[in-house]
Amino acid sequence: MVASVLRAASAVARMAASSQCKAAVVRGVVARPRFAAAAAARSAASGQSLRQARTVCAAAATAEPETFQYQAEVDRLMDLIVNSLYSNRDVFLRELVSNASDALDKIRLMALQDSEEYKSGTDLEIRIRADKEANTVVIEDTGVGMTREELIGTLGTIAKSGTAKFMEAMKEKKDANLIGQFGVGFYSAFLVADKVSVSTKSNKDGSQWLWESAAGAHSYTIKEDAAADIPRGTRITLHLKPDATEFSDPAKLESLIKQYSEFISFPIKLWVKTTKSEQVVDEEATAKAQVEAEEKARAEGKEEAAVDAVQPVMKTVTHEEEQWRVQNDNKPLWVRSPKSVAKDEYDAFFKTTFREFIEPLGVAHFNVEGTIEFSSMLFVPGMAPFDQDRSMAKSRNIRLYVKRVFISDEFDEDLMPRYLSFIKGVVDSSDLPLNVSREILQENRVVRLIRRQLVKRSIDMISDIAGREDKKEYAAFWESFGKFIKLGCIDDADNRKSLAPLLRFSSSAIAAEKGLTSLSEYVERKKEGQTQIYYLAADTRAGAEASPYVESLVSKGYEVLYLTEPIDEVAVQTMEEFEGLKLVDVSREDLNLDDSEEDKAALQSATEEFKGLTAYIKKVLGDKVEKVSVTSRLTDSPAVVVASKFGWSANMERIMRAQTMGDARSAEYMRGRRIMELNPQHPIIQSLKGKVELESREAREQVQLLYEAALLAGGFMIESPKDFAARIYQMMEQQQQQQGGGSAGDGGAAAASASAAPAAKKAPAGGAKKAAGGGKKAAAKKAAPAAEPAAEPVDPEVL
């Protein structure tokens, strides 16, 4: 009997040493009935109970930890994280702090339902401590904690949080840098740690458990933690890699907390060293001062007893103290009611968060509740950034938070259209997962709804600035960000009607020094019966004012908008109309000026009268123009070249030709047809009309010169500047010859008449040579016909 009991006890000891018995004892059961019988017999023989035998077996089991294999997906994920080239490892602290915050949220919710949960402690906080000597970082929370089963289920498998989807995306794209765009949760600790230890205690379990694993390992261990120093919560200890020692510096951790977790609702305390100074008595200096006072008294003949004690001499001493310091004192303004936030608070938040030094022009603070819930604060900066041209291409002005945890500021394109990229702000959503990537944002319905709200609120905020009494504020906004609004009219068809009233342009009705005008103000000033809004695109306002396209319009009292920026013409063309009035480019054909019947009849009559001239000009110019017609749009210029209804205008053609990567073939295709219009009242046109019948070379040259001059006046580029210059030089030479020959001929005739008349009276016929001043001069005079005008310069000797 005794021998059988001993054999049974030996079997129990062997099983306790084996992994099978360890697992069975921890679970509180014995796997095989014969072991139970042997243990019972042993207990009966030794006077111990079965419960005490199980305790002994459990103690033997917990002496060494249990080993578990990672789930296959976790093993693959660990391999990706540890072995990938990852440039931004800072994300680990954000993830671990977020997990701690979730644990605190859970215990707080559980305590609302059962106050007994707080018996293990009422403080809800997160503590972070770095140890440079041990090269460790400890993150501890007083949250809900975990049981042994929860440790296995949470840290040994992948929860339904999108991590498996992340791995598939990584496998397909093979892009290691994508890791930073996902919240990889607890496993991000292995980005900086060779070994991770997790000590945790839950109210549901009387034991404290220790989970441990190493980077690159395919398994983890769990055992009961003998320290048992956690009332409730979780403590994560990171044993840093040799190349991650920077994270053992409290200053580095402080900067990461400020960047990612500044607005966590629970206090985050960091163990830091502080230098304190205090005033103490300088004994040596005080004694010296006392001696000096006594010597002075003796020198003055006073008794030593009469000398008063001097004032103690103080000195400043410093010493270092280690203490817990709260890192997230700032509370997120966006979670508060807009009515409770003062303007000074908005200004301070804007300057601090976005590193600005000028107050914002506008603020939009709102909370959205319903199918989705999120809070946001948007700001219009007080001035444009110095690198505004580059900021439109890639901005980082919208800070995305998920449950007050900073995720990224690189999702501007997903949350805001590019024409609102100058808007700065924060968005905090509870409906987005922490493992946010650009792919998830693009596919997420919540993001589309958030984007729609942000655009609407931004336009409302800008409209509010435009409607203020102080017009200088919107003038400052337009000077900095006007191009963005014009871009919005091009890109955003859904909000084009809302953006149109925000546009500002120069106008013929507003002096340059008085600023710009809006389309609404144009409509208020329009002439009675006017059905169109007229505009002209040009390089400058001065160029637009001197353009022949606006001569008749301005003289008749019509207002013309001057579009002086390259983007203006495209923005206006996409709008087509405003408040029922069609937007019309005055540099194109068939301009309707709301003429009377009398004006139309006069134009028809002039068309018939100059029919021959228009046909001749078309014949001379050939394919250079689509047609030649008579117009009523000109008052001072003899002719103008206008563009057809379709294709580029003169201004757009000039802009597109200046593009570095322009396509010559597409430029030729998009160039509009050119139409030459004549002013029938101009003397040049009337003079040219009489020369047409001669079919002379002079008339053809004048037609070419008139066409090229009209091109330049209209803003077009001439095809052959050399030929144009040659015609100008030829005209100058002819004019010089005519002026020189005419003045010499007229002067010679007058001089000859003046000298010949007295000679005829005083001298005989044979003395004509003497009266003429010499034989050669008289012969030359007699040889020149008197009736023919001098067409060439006259020799001075003839005179």
Is residue 590 in a domain? no
Cβ neighbours for 555, distance < 8 A, ≥ 6 positions apart: 635
Identify whether residues 712 and 618 lie together within a single domain: yes
CA angle 347, 348, 352 (to 5 degrees): 120
Is residue 275 in a domain? no
User: In angstroms, rounded to a whole number, what is the distance separating the alpha carbons of residues 513 and 611?
Assistant: 45
Identify whether residues 140 and 236 lie together within a single domain: yes
Identify whether residues 99 and 214 lie together within a single domain: yes
Is residue 776 in a domain? yes
Q: Is the pLDDT of residue 732 over 90?
A: no
Which tens digit of pLDDT belongs to each residue from 185-194?
788 888 899 9
Identify whether residues 578 and 601 lie together within a single domain: no
Tell me which residue of 17, 19, 12 sits closest to 67, measured CA to CA.
19
CATH number at residue 122: 3.30.565.10
Number of domains, the chain: 6
Helices (H), 560-623: 566-575, 597-609, 611-621
Bigger pLDDT: 215 or 138? 138
User: In angstroms, rounded to a whole number, what is the distance separating the alpha carbons of residues 712 and 130?
Assistant: 74
Identify whether residues 607 and 694 lie together within a single domain: yes
Is residue 547 in a domain? yes
Identify whether residues 661 and 573 lie together within a single domain: no
68: which DSSP letter?
E
Binding region for ATP: 95, 99, 141, 146, 160-162, 181-186, 234, 438
Which tens digit of pLDDT belongs to each residue from 300-314?
776 655 667 778 888
User: In angstroms, rounded to a whole number, what is the distance separating the alpha carbons of residues 704 and 700?
Assistant: 6
Identify whether residues 543 and 604 lie together within a single domain: no
Identify whether residues 539 and 617 lie together within a single domain: no
- Please give the model's pTM, rounded to 2 decimal places: 0.68
Binding region: 95, 99, 141, 146, 160-162, 181-186, 234, 438
Exposure of 308 by Cβ count < 10 A (0-12 exposed, 13-18 middle, 19+ buried)? Answer: exposed
CATH number at residue 668: 1.20.120.790
Which tens digit of pLDDT belongs to each residue from 668-706?
667 778 889 999 989 998 888 888 776 778 888 889 889
Of the residues 684, 719, 754, the one at which a domain ends: 719
Which tens digit of pLDDT belongs to each residue from 24-69?
333 333 333 333 333 333 444 444 443 444 443 444 444 478 888 8
371: which DSSP letter?
S
**pLDDT reported for residue 242:** 92
Average pLDDT for residues 579-601, to the nearest whole number? 84
User: In angstroms, rounded to a whole number, what is the distance separating the alpha carbons of residues 666 and 50?
Assistant: 94
Is residue 397 in a domain? yes
Identify whether residues 745 and 663 lie together within a single domain: no
Q: Is the pLDDT of residue 357 over 60?
A: yes
Is residue 395 in a domain? yes
SS3 of 790, please? Answer: coil
User: In angstroms, rounded to a whole number, what is the distance separating the alpha carbons of residues 559 and 509?
Assistant: 6
Identify whether residues 205 and 193 lie together within a single domain: yes
Mean pLDDT, the chain, rounded, equals 77
Q: 780 is in which domain, residue-wise? A: 739-798
Which tens digit of pLDDT belongs to each residue from 445-478?
888 889 999 999 999 999 999 999 999 999 999 9
Task: Average the pLDDT over each of 144-158, 615-629, 752-766 and give the range with the smallest value.
Answer: 752-766
Q: Is the pLDDT of residue 494 over 60?
A: yes
Identify whether residues 568 and 618 lie together within a single domain: no
Q: How would DSSP label each residue in 262-277? A: TT-SS-EEEEEEEEEE
Q: Is the pLDDT of residue 116 over 80?
A: yes
**pLDDT reported for residue 453:** 93
Q: Are the CB atoms for 504 and 517 separated by under 8 Å?
A: yes
| Chain CA centroid to CA 538, Å | 29
Is residue 202 in a domain? yes
Residue 501: CA count within 13 A, CB half-sphere: 14
Q: Is the pLDDT of residue 656 over 60?
A: yes
CATH number at residue 569: 3.40.50.11260
Most confident of 11-25, 216-230, 490-504, 579-593: 490-504
**pLDDT reported for residue 437:** 60
Identify whether residues 42 and 118 lie together within a single domain: no
The pLDDT confidence band at residue 396, using thresholds 50, 70 and 90, is: confident
